[in-house]
Structure 1
Amino acid sequence: GRLIITNIRILWHSSTSPRINLSIGHNCILSTSTKVVNSKLKGTTQALQLLTISNGTRYEFIFTNLIPGNTRHFTSVMEVHKAYNSSRLYRELKLRCAIIHNKQLKILPQEQVVSTLMGVWNLSSDQGSLGTFHVSNVRFVWFADVNEGFNISLPYLQIESISIRDSKFGTALVITSSEASGAFVLGFKVDPEETLRNLYKELTSLHTVYSAKPVFGVEYKYSSGKEYTEHNNNLVEDYEALEEPKGEIGNTIVAYLADEGHSRDRPPVFSPELGLAVEQVKEG
């Protein structure tokens, strides 16, 4: 098959039947490594091992390259996954993390600060906390003036809604995070009200722009050697197909469908595995 590596996932599909395919998001990958395996096609060879988890179930995937000694795809997978893990601030809600140093926001690569507001109240407590509000092209950040460790970083990717509501503190900016990030409801008080509404318009506009063209923060520059050229990416050495699927039906099912000499339907029998009555399977 063919292995495709992007900035957010890994794809594989069969060369003979593209509908047989696999998509693995980098967020599902627990670890990446290489190991020596015994291949039916090439004997002992090096393989890429991916340990993943989805909906609480763990999976293991092993990929081998048909070109002996060619491990450039393996290196790319591990490097891109490393870049993905190091760029989670672009995509995940963070509370009380090391994003501020000496009252200054640590700017991420590809991030541009649009505006900074002083004297913004965070309404998470009964008294409220006074702090600084940063707006960038990928997220907003607020931190307390008396304790920069008390902060929040929320990417536009995880914002469910932005609105202006009345609260016991007066008119407030309310930002709701997505269910995947905990469905937090964050309230901020900005004076005067005109500044609050300008901030609301700014965040709404940036959120719309980001939704149309998101910035995931995953950067990887692939540099190949002279022995590899772009047109060789899809070429492999001669190989022998062990099984050539005919259509999209597995061989086991085909054995039951190819019923030559069938004259009439067999009587139904109860299948405890399916919990249904099915036509009796032919002998053999």
Structure 2
Amino acid sequence: MMNHKEQFGNLGIFHITDVRLIWHAELNENFNVSVPYYQTKTIKIRDSKFGLALVVETTPYSGNYLLGFQIAPEEKLREVHKEITTLHKSYFANPEFGVEFSIEDQQSDQPATRLESKVDDIEILQSREHTDSYATYLTDAGKRDRDPVYSDELGLAIEKLPQGYTLSSLWDILS
């Protein structure tokens, strides 16, 4: 199988699995590609300057790559295309994410025990004012922009704060 990039072709080995496509060059172990089916957008046979080629397009989230592979003879190309599209459809019908987990109903002779709830001794160190002020400040965001004013604290122009707000109270939200 040949992988074509620009004007050059690289002879390599193509592996088809139930979760991904893998290709690696025979002469350069650093030249390889592994594309999970969930990152595959389309798998087509297209005409290229090298003849018919298997073209795999990846999703925008995985780089939007267009990978071309030449497989000879044409019957083998069509066979590989059919196998990959079948596996691709099968994968999306029942995706495999690597770990299988099932919950089994277990009958026990022992009665279920309830855990006793524990009440923590909590002391509130801050009032809710700062979180409420932030929420109120954000609800004002839908209104028109406030006029800019110079802030001595920051040394630059900022939106005028709503009545009763200070810069330090807004920064307290982060701590």
Using structure 1 for the length normalisation, give the TM-score.
0.38
Q: Which residue of 2 aligns with 1:197?
A: 78
Q: Which residue identity is paired with 1:275?
A: K
What is the CA-CA distance between 1:135 and the residue it aligns to? 0.6
- 1:241-256 superposed matches below 5 A: none
1:217 alignment partner, SS class: coil
* CA separation of 1:176 and 1:238: change in aligned 2, threshold 3 A: same
Deviations 1:58-115 (A, max 9, x none): xxxxxxxxxxxxxxxxxxxxxxxxxxxxxxxxxxxxxxxxxxxxxxxxxxxxxxxxxx
| Map of 1:164 onto structure 2 | 45
Q: 2:142 and 2:62 mapped to 1: Cα distance?
A: 39
> Alpha-carbon deviation of 1:218?
3.1
Q: How far does residue 128 in structure 1 lie from its aligned partner after superposition?
A: 1.0
Unaligned ranges ≥5, structure 2 = 103-109, 120-131, 133-138, 145-175
Question: Match for 2:117: what amino acid?
Answer: D
1:275 and 2:154 are equivalent in the alignment: no
Partner in structure 1 of residue 116 of structure 2? 237
Query: What is the CA distance between 1:220 and its match in structure 2?
Result: 7.5
Aligned partners of 1:132 and 1:162: how far apart in 2? Answer: 18
Counterpart-to-counterpart distance in 2, 1:161 and 1:198: 16
1:128 match: secondary structure: strand
Moved over 4 A (4+): 271-274
- Inter-CA distance 237–205: structure 2 relative to 1 (3 Å threshold): same
Identity %: 44
1:189-228 matches, within 5 Å, as 189-218=70-99
Structure 2 counterparts to residues 1-284 of structure 1, below 5 A: 120-218=1-99, 235-238=114-117, 274-275=142-143
Question: 3-state DSSP class of the match of 1:123?
Answer: strand
The structure with the greater share of residues assigned to helix is 2
Looking at secondary structure, tell me which structure has more strand per residue. 1
For 1:181 and 1:130, locate their aligned partners in 2 and report how far apart those are by CA, in whole Å: 24
Tell me the matched-pair count: 120
